[in-house]
Amino acid sequence: MTINANTNATNATTENFYNFTADCVAYINDIRVVKPQNKPKSSFVSVKIAILEGEKDEPNKVFADLIVRGEQAQKIIAFYKDYWPKFGQENSWFASLRIGSMYPKTYTNKKTGEVVPTMGGRLLTFTYLKIGDTVIELPKEDAKPQAAPQAQQPAPQPQAAPQAQQPAPQPMLA
């Protein structure tokens, strides 16, 4: 799992925040639309995942409940709605994901009454997706939907060199 602390300030007038994210590989076990009883018009899509970490041959699984929030993730989830995995079905989803706003939480197992630790957060993007045996070609996170291919594409224009930035502050050692 890779942990990034990103500062998004691409448009300083509208976005200026810190975003804690983690990149992971996971099985998506369940996708469902949640309709809160106290706010019936504010439904959202929730996914249950099993994050893989550790040895490739025998990975540990860390379970998480995520709310789908990223625009790219919402589009992919909506487009493949007919293929959503459900517990106990063989239509498995294997994915590389970016998760944000992670936090620990617990739930009570209805069968055993045991309190089980898990994680919560927001599903921001997919970087890889395999449904069953089919690898899905995904759009880039910031890509806009493309029109039908045209016969000729204009050549890409060179971009200006990036401006020099100040070096990141180094941690102080005692």
Q: Rounded to whole angstroms, how far apart are CA atoms 105 and 101?
A: 13
Q: Is the pTM of this model over 0.75?
A: no
Mean pLDDT over residues 23-43, rounded? 88
| Strands 60-68 and 115-131, bridge-based pairing | parallel
Domain spanning 2-9+25-136, CATH class: mainly beta
Tokens of 118: 């898990």
pLDDT in tens, 49-95: 999 999 999 999 999 999 999 999 999 999 998 888 876 566 689 99
The whole-chain average pLDDT of the chain stands at 76
Show me where the domains of the chain are located: 2-9+25-136
Q: Rounded to whole angstroms, how far apart are CA atoms 121 and 47?
A: 10
pLDDT in tens, 88-127: 566 689 999 999 999 999 989 889 999 989 999 999 999 9
Amino acid at 147: A
Contact yes or no for 49/29 (Cβ under 8 A): yes
Contact yes or no for 10/19 (Cβ under 8 A): no
